[in-house]
Amino acid sequence: MNSVFVYCEIEDGQVAEVSQELMTKGRSLACELGCNLEALAIGCELNGIESQIFPYGVDVLYVADDKRLSPYTTLPHTSIIVKLFEEQKPQIALMGASSVGRDLGPRVSSALHSGLTADCTSLVIGSHEDKKLGKIYEKLLYQIRPAFGGNIIATIINPEHRPQMATVREGVMKKEIFNPKYKGKLVKLDVSKYVSDTDFVVEIIERHLEKRKVNMIAAPIVVSGGYGVGSKENFRLLFELAEVLGGEVGASRAAVDAGFAEHERQIGQTGVTVRPKLYIACGISGQIQHRAGMDQSAQIIAINTDPEAPINAIADYVITGGVADVIPKMIKYYKKNTK
């Protein structure tokens, strides 16, 4: 049990953002545990993929390169990961909580009888004392996530079984190059030893991909609205403010459910996670489900008629007032002061 392992999602020859974030987190966990950070890339035509992966501090990169492995299908990817984990016996395994990770993670953990914590918002190393068994477990992975509809924050541990598996959504962890010149060991797997013909019974005949229209994760400024904005018409003020600030518009689940904004703009436990330089929360009460998706923002401005709104507790600046009154003034004075 001597490594932290990250499964790297590959699409069109590029490592997914969530995998880069997990390698960043994995490097810090590996340093704390005093073990290797290892990664796995599965796909087709992966020559040179290590140049995207080693700078994140990866010590060993396993590459499974075969034309049958791209685009992603469940069975062969599962077989490769399960057999590799049985060989290498990692103590921690991380995947993105993407459509791929959510399909792959449960299958791998079930095959290995290891357990899996989905949609973690934090991963830290800690210890645990089991008083009933009289055991103390050191260097466990604390897998932290909202539970019971976001009403509590649960810390989940896996004392006995390995690997300790978790999935994390894109945007939750920071992405940071460890060392641009870092060089690890490249291991090319003999795919035929890890898969069988039965793994390819499912064939993808045709794929239709639609690129994401809204990319709030990359936006430096997010103007987000809640149910307190009042109407879809009032949401247009948020779009106007976002335009003059050079940002994107987000929404709480309540605003999306009310039809004020599209689901792709939803921020929070059941939406996307953002960490912009500036987050402007308009008419958002700030329940824990929403805060889970934005509380890592560098600076937060809360605009709300309720001076006791929970969002105010984490805001750097609080403006008490109606969105329809405050936002037009912000637009007016920002335009005036930037001429």
**Is 123 within 8 Å of 51 (Cβ atoms)?**
no
According to CATH, the topology of domain 221-337 is: Rossmann fold (3.40.50)
pLDDT tens digit at each of 339 positions of the chain? 589 999 999 988 889 989 999 999 999 999 998 899 999 999 888 898 999 999 999 999 999 998 888 888 899 999 999 999 999 999 999 999 888 999 999 999 999 998 899 988 889 998 888 878 778 888 888 998 877 766 677 888 888 888 999 999 888 888 889 999 999 999 999 988 998 889 888 888 888 877 767 778 878 999 999 998 888 888 999 999 998 888 999 999 999 999 998 888 999 877 888 889 999 999 998 888 888 888 889 999 999 999 888 999 999 999 998 888 899 989 888 887 765
**Is 6 within 8 Å of 22 (Cβ atoms)?**
yes
Amino acid sitting at position 27: R
State the span(s) of the chain assigned CATH 3.40.50.620: 3-200
pLDDT score, position 334? 86
Q: Which residues contact 209 (CB under 8 A, 6 or more apart)?
A: none
Superfamily of domain 3-200: HUPs (3.40.50.620)
What count of other Cβ atoms lies within 10 Å of the Cβ of residue 231? Answer: 11
**DSSP-derived pairing of the beta strands 152-156 and 135-147:** antiparallel
Could you tell me the pTM of the whole model? 0.76
| Strand ranges (E), the chain | 3-8, 10-11, 14-15, 36-43, 60-65, 92-96, 116-120, 122-130, 135-147, 152-156, 164-168, 185-188, 221-225, 248-251, 278-282, 300-304, 317-320
pLDDT score, position 149? 63
**Is 191 within 8 Å of 145 (Cβ atoms)?**
no
CA 66, 60, 79, 87 torsion: positive or negative?
Answer: positive
Alpha helix (H) residue ranges in 208-322: 232-245, 253-257, 288-291
State the span(s) of the chain assigned CATH 3.40.50.1220: 221-337
pLDDT score, position 218? 79
pLDDT score, position 268? 86
